[in-house]
């Protein structure tokens, strides 16, 4: 099925997004990472979810993909507001499942403060100190997040600690970008979650997780089953 494109007005930019319809009542909002990431990278995952009936909405953050614009015109806070705007435009106040990768995982966590989220999937998740949250993506932002173990001061532990839905954290065994403590600390922090699990993909790297899984059908199937169990356990 071809995704249905739609635009979301946002201060200074028009966010480009699309939706794949499914039969499951809980739609998934997907938030990509930083660097060269864009919503097209979710295609294999979205196809697999659609085969299970799970609808998905994805978008290009400001400074990425079809949305375009200057990256320095965005920030972590802006990305969270962008995700909320897309969710509101497509799903209104309906409960959501949210999938966030890398930087997008932190935006997914922050979305818990503003939207009703029942299922949360965090893939190679990055977390950040609150001191970096409102900073534009420029040298100042980079300096703050590159301070030694700045991520330890993150508010993500407390936010996830209040989450009562279902949580899946997917880590890459050979991730040299995300400290290995972060994935398991997120799972440990989620003491109120109704279901929580950490899944480590063997041999995977930060920027080569789903592409590696695509080469390993059994491992891909195992990972998709866990994502499906988190997003739509009753379908």
**Model confidence pLDDT, tens digit, residues 120-150:** 999 999 999 999 999 999 999 999 999 999 9
When pLDDT is averaged across residues 49-65 and rounded to a whole number, the result is 94
Tell me the C-alpha distance between 74 and 82, whole Å: 10
Could you report the per-residue pLDDT of 174-211, keeping only the tens digit for each? 999 999 999 999 999 999 999 999 999 999 999 999 88
Rounded CA separation 156/151 (Å): 9
Give the mean model confidence (pLDDT) for residues 61-72. Answer: 96
Mean pLDDT within 218-227: 95
* CA–CA dist 41, 53 (Å, integer): 20
Reported as a pLDDT band with limits 50, 70 and 90, residue 234 is low
- Look up the domain containing 104 and give its range: 4-231
In contact, 166 and 195? CB cutoff 8 Å: yes
Report pLDDT for 235.
47
The pTM assigned to this predicted structure is 0.96
CATH of the domain at 71: 3.40.50.1820
* pLDDT, tens digit (0-9, with 9 covering 90-100), for 95-115: 899 999 999 999 999 999 989
Average pLDDT over residues 165-180: 96
What pLDDT shows up at residue 125? Answer: 98
Q: How many CB atoms lie within 10 A of CB 87?
A: 26
Give the number of domains in the chain: 1
């Amino acid at each position: 099925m071809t995704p249905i494109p739609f635009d979301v007005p946002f201060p200074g930019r028009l966010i480009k997004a699309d939706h794949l319809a499914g039969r499951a009542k809980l739609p998934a909002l997907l938030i990509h990472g930083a660097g060269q990431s864009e919503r097209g990278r979710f295609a294999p995952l979205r196809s697999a979810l659609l085969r299970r009936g799970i609808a998905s909405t994805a978008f290009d953050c400001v400074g990425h993909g079809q949305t375009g614009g200057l990256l320095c015109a965005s920030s972590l806070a802006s990305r969270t507001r962008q995700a909320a705007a897309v969710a509101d435009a497509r799903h209104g106040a309906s409960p959501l499942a949210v999938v966030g990768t890398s930087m997008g995982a932190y935006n997914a966590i922050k979305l818990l403060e503003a939207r009703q989220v029942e299922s949360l999937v965090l893939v190679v998740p990055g977390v950040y100190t609150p001191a970096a949250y409102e900073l534009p993506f420029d040298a100042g932002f980079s300096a703050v997040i590159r301070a030694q173990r700045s991520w330890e001061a993150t508010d993500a532990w407390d936010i996830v600690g209040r989450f009562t839905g279902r949580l899946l954290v997917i880590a890459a065994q050979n991730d040299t970008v995300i400290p290995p403590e972060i994935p398991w600390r997120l799972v440990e922090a989620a003491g109120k979650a109704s279901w929580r699990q950490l899944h480590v993909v063997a041999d995977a790297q930060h920027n080569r997780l789903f592409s590696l899984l695509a080469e390993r059908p059994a491992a891909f199937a195992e990972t998709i089953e866990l994502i499906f169990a988190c997003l739509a356990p009753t379908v």
